[in-house]
């Protein structure tokens, strides 16, 4: 986290603090971070029988277990955003969203955010629309946001590996649906996006990188609105 202030983080900050999608000014691309940015700020210690050090240690262990359980797509963004789930309970509450955005804003030298619950971001990142924001879901939303370099129309980072579960070099419908994870409208929606990208790129059931980029762009537009 320290010293980070990439363009995508500004969008997170804006989603939470301003409540706007910033559709037409989105990031040229926040690369999936190669460096470890795992330092995070511990949440304020709750009243408990354990010492602050013990509590911090427990949370770090919990976070490590949580990291290992993340879906491949979510794992791409863990270094940059997993800290947002401050209590490592697998969900990102509106309070946690606000704290994370405030921390990012401070690090980027941005103005303080209004002290209101970030309804928009909580809904935006709730990919399956069930009213609850899981940590995996938030990370998948951030990955979707950063997955395709619009300028170059290229995929970024380890995104192909995250989708190509069997390492065949192509992405099948099952791999696509599985890696995208639960979305609003269910598998029918994920499958329709796959079918469209499949058709447009002549992939015949195995999306090549350009087909995956088309599918990701369509999914991003459908799920995030840009
Ligand atoms: Ca949490
Ligand atoms: Ca959800």
Ligand 2 being an ion, which residues bring their Cβ within 5 A of it?
A: 126, 128, 130, 132, 137
Q: Mark whether 113 and 178 lie in a shared domain.
A: no
Q: Residue 141: name the closest of 158, 122, 125 by CA.
A: 125
Domain that holds residue 196: 149-224
* Spacing, Cα 35 to ligand 1 middle (Å): 24
Per-residue pLDDT band at 154 (split at 50, 70, 90): confident
165 and 74, same structural domain?
no
Which among 65, 97, 128 is the end of a domain? 128
Mark whether 103 and 11 lie in a shared domain: yes
Instruction: For 75-112, write each residue's pLDDT tens digit.
Output: 999 999 999 999 999 999 999 999 999 999 999 999 88
Residue 94, domain member (yes or no): yes
Total count of domains within the chain: 2
Assigned domain for 71 exists: yes
Ligand 1 center to residue 58 CA distance, Å?
A: 14
Tens-digit pLDDT profile for residues 155-192: 876 999 999 999 999 999 999 999 999 999 999 999 99
Check whether residue 155 and residue 104 sit in a common domain. no
CA–centroid distance, residue 105 to ligand 2 (Å): 25
Q: What are residue 93's DSSP bridge partners?
A: none
Same domain, 104 and 154: no
| 113 Cα to the center of ligand 1, angstroms | 20
Using the 3D structure, point to which of 70, 97, 128 is the last residue of a domain.
128
**Are residues 124 and 201 located together in one domain of the fold?**
no
Whether 182 maps to a domain, the answer reads yes
User: CA 144 to CA 148: how far, in whole Å?
Assistant: 8
- Give the closest ligand to the alpha carbon of residue 135: 1
Identify whether residues 16 and 121 lie together within a single domain.
Answer: yes
Distances, alpha carbon 140 to alpha carbons 5, 146, 213, in Å: 20, 10, 15
Please name which ligand lies nearest the alpha carbon of 184. 2
**DSSP assignment of 95-155, as one string?**
HHHHHHHHHHHHHTTPPPPPSS--HHHHHHS-TT-SS--BHHHHHHHHHHHHSEETTTTEE
Q: Assess whether 117 and 71 both reside in one domain.
A: yes
Inter-CA distances, 9 with 6, 61, 193, 194, Å? 5, 26, 27, 28
Residue at a domain's end among 93, 128, 163 = 128
Q: What is the model's pLDDT at position 115?
A: 74
In a domain, 38, yes or no: no
- The pocket of ion ligand 1, defined by CB under 5 A, consists of 85, 87, 89, 91
Q: Are residues 16 and 101 in the same domain?
A: yes
Residue 118 lies inside a defined structural domain of this protein:
yes
């Amino acid at each position: 986290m320290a010293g980070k202030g990439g363009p995508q983080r500004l969008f997170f900050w804006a989603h939470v603090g301003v409540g706007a999608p910033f559709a037409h000014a989105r990031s040229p691309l926040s690369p999936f971070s190669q460096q470890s940015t795992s330092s995070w700020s511990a949440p304020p210690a709750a009243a408990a029988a354990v010492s602050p050090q013990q509590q911090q240690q427990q949370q770090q262990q919990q976070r490590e277990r949580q990291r290992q359980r993340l879906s491949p797509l979510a794992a791409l963004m863990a270094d940059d955003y997993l800290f947002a789930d401050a209590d490592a309970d697998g969900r990102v509450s509106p309070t946690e969203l606000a704290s994370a955005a405030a921390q990012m804003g401070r690090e980027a030298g941005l103005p303080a955010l209004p002290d209101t619950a970030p309804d928009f971001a909580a809904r935006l990142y709730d990919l399956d629309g069930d009213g609850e924001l899981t940590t995996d879901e938030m990370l998948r939303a951030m990955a979707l946001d950063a997955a395709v370099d619009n300028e170059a129309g290229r995929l970024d980072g380890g995104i192909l590996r995250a989708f190509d579960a069997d390492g065949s070099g192509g992405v099948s419908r099952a791999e696509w649906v599985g890696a995208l994870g639960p979305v609003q409208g269910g598998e029918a929606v994920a499958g329709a996006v796959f079918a469209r990208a499949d058709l447009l790129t002549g992939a015949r059931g195995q999306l090549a990188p350009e087909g995956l980029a088309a599918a990701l762009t369509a999914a991003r537009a459908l799920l995030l609105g840009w």
